[in-house]
Protein backbone atom coordinates (compact mmCIF):
# COMPACT_ATOMS: atom_id res chain seq x y z
CA UNK A 1 0.00 0.00 0.00
CA UNK A 2 1.42 3.35 -1.03
CA UNK A 3 2.23 5.57 1.93
CA UNK A 4 1.13 9.23 1.84
CA UNK A 5 3.54 11.52 0.09
CA UNK A 6 5.44 14.26 1.83
CA UNK A 7 2.92 17.00 1.22
CA UNK A 8 2.35 20.66 2.02
CA UNK A 9 4.35 23.73 1.12
CA UNK A 10 7.09 25.16 3.28
CA UNK A 11 9.60 27.72 2.09
CA UNK A 12 11.64 29.18 4.90
CA UNK A 13 14.67 31.38 4.77
CA UNK A 14 16.82 31.57 7.89
CA UNK A 15 18.46 34.94 8.35
CA UNK A 16 20.64 35.81 11.31
CA UNK A 17 22.45 39.03 12.08
CA UNK A 18 26.04 38.84 10.88
CA UNK A 19 28.74 41.46 10.69
CA UNK A 20 27.72 44.20 8.29
CA UNK A 21 31.31 44.53 7.10
CA UNK A 22 31.31 41.20 5.32
CA UNK A 23 28.56 39.22 3.65
CA UNK A 24 28.69 35.72 5.11
CA UNK A 25 29.01 32.66 2.96
CA UNK A 26 25.76 30.86 2.21
CA UNK A 27 24.57 27.28 2.53
CA UNK A 28 21.46 26.43 0.53
CA UNK A 29 19.28 23.51 1.61
CA UNK A 30 17.37 22.07 -1.35
CA UNK A 31 14.97 19.56 0.08
CA UNK A 32 11.39 18.51 0.74
CA UNK A 33 9.27 18.34 3.89
CA UNK A 34 11.95 16.36 5.73
CA UNK A 35 13.97 19.57 5.64
CA UNK A 36 11.01 21.95 5.72
CA UNK A 37 9.97 21.48 9.36
CA UNK A 38 6.74 19.75 8.36
CA UNK A 39 4.25 19.57 11.24
CA UNK A 40 6.47 21.49 13.65
CA UNK A 41 7.56 25.10 14.01
CA UNK A 42 10.29 26.42 11.73
CA UNK A 43 12.51 27.12 14.73
CA UNK A 44 12.34 23.45 15.75
CA UNK A 45 13.45 22.15 12.35
CA UNK A 46 16.93 20.78 11.77
CA UNK A 47 17.79 23.55 9.32
CA UNK A 48 17.22 26.24 11.95
CA UNK A 49 19.16 24.16 14.47
CA UNK A 50 21.98 23.88 11.95
CA UNK A 51 22.15 27.66 11.59
CA UNK A 52 22.49 28.08 15.33
CA UNK A 53 25.07 25.30 15.58
CA UNK A 54 27.16 26.83 12.81
CA UNK A 55 27.24 30.13 14.67
CA UNK A 56 28.03 28.41 17.97
CA UNK A 57 31.02 26.73 16.31
CA UNK A 58 32.38 30.06 15.10
CA UNK A 59 31.60 29.76 11.39
CA UNK A 60 30.26 32.72 9.41
CA UNK A 61 27.68 31.02 7.21
CA UNK A 62 24.02 31.82 6.75
CA UNK A 63 21.70 28.92 6.03
CA UNK A 64 18.95 29.41 3.45
CA UNK A 65 16.18 26.83 3.54
CA UNK A 66 14.74 26.47 0.04
CA UNK A 67 12.93 23.24 0.86
CA UNK A 68 9.42 22.72 -0.50
CA UNK A 69 7.22 19.97 0.85
CA UNK A 70 6.19 17.51 -1.82
CA UNK A 71 9.21 18.28 -3.98
CA UNK A 72 10.69 15.52 -6.09
CA UNK A 73 14.13 15.49 -7.66
CA UNK A 74 12.52 16.66 -10.89
CA UNK A 75 10.87 19.71 -9.33
CA UNK A 76 14.07 20.41 -7.44
CA UNK A 77 15.93 20.39 -10.74
CA UNK A 78 13.45 22.93 -12.11
CA UNK A 79 14.27 25.27 -9.19
CA UNK A 80 18.01 24.92 -8.77
CA UNK A 81 19.15 27.37 -11.45
CA UNK A 82 17.07 30.24 -10.08
CA UNK A 83 18.07 29.36 -6.52
CA UNK A 84 21.77 29.44 -7.39
CA UNK A 85 21.41 32.79 -9.11
CA UNK A 86 19.35 34.31 -6.31
CA UNK A 87 21.31 33.11 -3.30
CA UNK A 88 24.84 32.57 -4.67
CA UNK A 89 25.56 29.76 -2.20
CA UNK A 90 28.96 28.27 -1.49
CA UNK A 91 27.44 24.92 -0.53
CA UNK A 92 24.21 23.15 -1.47
CA UNK A 93 22.82 20.46 0.82
CA UNK A 94 20.91 18.28 -1.63
CA UNK A 95 18.25 16.43 0.35
CA UNK A 96 15.78 15.18 -2.24
CA UNK A 97 14.58 11.78 -3.40
CA UNK A 98 12.19 10.66 -0.69
CA UNK A 99 9.06 11.59 -2.60
CA UNK A 100 10.44 9.98 -5.75
CA UNK A 101 10.94 6.75 -3.86
CA UNK A 102 7.51 6.84 -2.24
CA UNK A 103 5.98 7.25 -5.68
CA UNK A 104 8.00 4.37 -7.06
CA UNK A 105 9.53 6.50 -9.80
CA UNK A 106 12.10 4.94 -12.09
CA UNK A 107 15.64 4.96 -10.74
CA UNK A 108 16.86 6.34 -14.05
CA UNK A 109 14.63 9.40 -13.64
CA UNK A 110 15.76 10.00 -10.06
CA UNK A 111 19.41 9.56 -10.99
CA UNK A 112 19.11 11.86 -13.99
CA UNK A 113 17.53 14.66 -11.98
CA UNK A 114 20.01 14.42 -9.12
CA UNK A 115 22.90 14.24 -11.60
CA UNK A 116 21.75 17.40 -13.32
CA UNK A 117 21.35 19.26 -10.03
CA UNK A 118 24.87 18.27 -8.97
CA UNK A 119 26.30 19.22 -12.35
CA UNK A 120 24.65 22.64 -12.30
CA UNK A 121 26.07 23.28 -8.84
CA UNK A 122 29.56 22.17 -9.82
CA UNK A 123 29.48 24.25 -12.99
CA UNK A 124 28.78 27.24 -10.72
CA UNK A 125 31.68 26.28 -8.41
CA UNK A 126 29.25 25.34 -5.66
CA UNK A 127 30.06 22.41 -3.38
CA UNK A 128 27.41 19.76 -2.86
CA UNK A 129 26.63 17.67 0.20
CA UNK A 130 24.35 14.81 -0.83
CA UNK A 131 21.92 13.64 1.85
CA UNK A 132 20.64 10.12 1.33
CA UNK A 133 17.23 8.94 2.41
CA UNK A 134 15.90 5.44 3.03
CA UNK A 135 12.39 4.24 2.31
CA UNK A 136 9.99 2.41 4.65
CA UNK A 137 10.68 -1.35 4.87
CA UNK A 138 7.39 -2.25 3.19
CA UNK A 139 8.95 -1.23 -0.14
CA UNK A 140 11.02 -4.37 0.07
CA UNK A 141 14.75 -4.99 0.57
CA UNK A 142 15.60 -5.14 -3.13
CA UNK A 143 14.05 -1.77 -3.97
CA UNK A 144 15.49 -0.18 -0.82
CA UNK A 145 18.98 -1.47 -1.51
CA UNK A 146 18.91 -0.17 -5.07
CA UNK A 147 17.57 3.16 -3.83
CA UNK A 148 20.41 3.52 -1.31
CA UNK A 149 22.98 2.45 -3.90
CA UNK A 150 21.82 5.26 -6.18
CA UNK A 151 23.04 7.91 -3.72
CA UNK A 152 26.31 6.07 -3.16
CA UNK A 153 26.89 5.88 -6.91
CA UNK A 154 26.26 9.60 -7.40
CA UNK A 155 28.59 10.46 -4.54
CA UNK A 156 31.42 8.49 -6.13
CA UNK A 157 30.74 9.65 -9.67
CA UNK A 158 30.75 13.35 -8.85
CA UNK A 159 33.16 13.18 -5.91
CA UNK A 160 30.71 14.79 -3.51
CA UNK A 161 30.43 13.92 0.19
CA UNK A 162 27.46 11.81 1.22
CA UNK A 163 25.40 11.56 4.37
CA UNK A 164 24.17 7.99 3.76
CA UNK A 165 21.08 8.30 5.95
CA UNK A 166 19.96 11.75 7.00
CA UNK A 167 17.34 10.07 9.21
CA UNK A 168 19.81 7.70 10.87
CA UNK A 169 18.77 7.03 14.49
CA UNK A 170 15.36 8.51 13.63
CA UNK A 171 13.47 6.53 11.00
CA UNK A 172 13.69 3.26 12.94
CA UNK A 173 12.18 4.74 16.11
CA UNK A 174 8.42 5.15 15.97
CA UNK A 175 8.41 7.60 18.88
CA UNK A 176 10.52 10.00 16.80
CA UNK A 177 8.02 10.05 13.94
CA UNK A 178 4.77 11.94 13.64
CA UNK A 179 1.42 10.16 13.32
CA UNK A 180 1.93 9.61 9.58
CA UNK A 181 4.97 7.45 10.28
CA UNK A 182 7.09 9.43 7.82
CA UNK A 183 7.85 12.91 9.13
CA UNK A 184 10.19 13.30 12.12
CA UNK A 185 9.00 14.95 15.32
CA UNK A 186 10.57 18.00 16.93
CA UNK A 187 12.54 15.68 19.23
CA UNK A 188 14.12 14.05 16.18
CA UNK A 189 15.43 17.27 14.64
CA UNK A 190 18.66 17.54 16.70
CA UNK A 191 19.57 14.02 15.59
CA UNK A 192 19.01 14.91 11.93
CA UNK A 193 21.07 18.07 12.36
CA UNK A 194 23.96 16.04 13.82
CA UNK A 195 23.80 13.62 10.89
CA UNK A 196 24.02 16.49 8.42
CA UNK A 197 26.69 18.25 10.46
CA UNK A 198 28.98 15.23 10.30
CA UNK A 199 29.11 15.58 6.52
CA UNK A 200 29.01 19.36 6.39
CA UNK A 201 31.66 20.41 8.89
CA UNK A 202 34.66 19.25 6.80
CA UNK A 203 33.40 21.47 3.98
CA UNK A 204 33.32 24.66 6.05
CA UNK A 205 36.03 27.31 6.30
CA UNK A 206 36.67 29.17 9.51
CA UNK A 207 36.65 32.97 9.17
Cβ–Cβ < 8 Å for 47, 29: yes
What is the C-alpha to C-alpha distance for residues 66 and 193, in angstroms, rounded to an integer? 16
- The answer to whether residues 37 and 45 touch, using CB atoms and an 8 Å cutoff, is yes
What pLDDT score does 157 carry? 98
Q: How confident is the model at residue 23 (pLDDT cuts 50, 70, 90)?
A: low
pTM (two decimals): 0.89
pLDDT given for residue 31 in this prediction: 98
* Ranges assigned E (strand) in 75-191: 91-95, 127-131, 162-163
Identify the burial level of 179 via C-beta atoms within 10 angstroms of its C-beta, where 0-12 means exposed, 13-18 middle and 19 or more buried.
exposed
Across 37-45, average pLDDT: 98
Residue 138 has pLDDT above 90, yes or no: no
Active site residues: 33, 180, 183
Q: Which band of pLDDT confidence, cut at 50, 70 and 90, is reported for residue 206?
A: confident
Cα gap 10→65, rounded to integer Å: 9
- Which residue in 62, 1, 76, 84 sits closest to 34, CA to CA? 76
Q: Pick the range with the lowest mean pLDDT from 61-70, 94-103, 124-133, 137-146.
A: 137-146
In CATH terms, 12-197 corresponds, of 1.20.120.530, 3.40.50.1110, 3.90.76.10, 3.40.50.1220, to: 3.40.50.1110
Amino acid sequence: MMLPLLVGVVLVFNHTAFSASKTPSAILVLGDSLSGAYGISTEQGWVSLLQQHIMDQGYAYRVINASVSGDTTRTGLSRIDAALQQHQPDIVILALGGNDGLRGLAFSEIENSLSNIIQQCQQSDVQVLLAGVRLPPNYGPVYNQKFAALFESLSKRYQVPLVPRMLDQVADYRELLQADGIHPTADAQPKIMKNIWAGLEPMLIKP
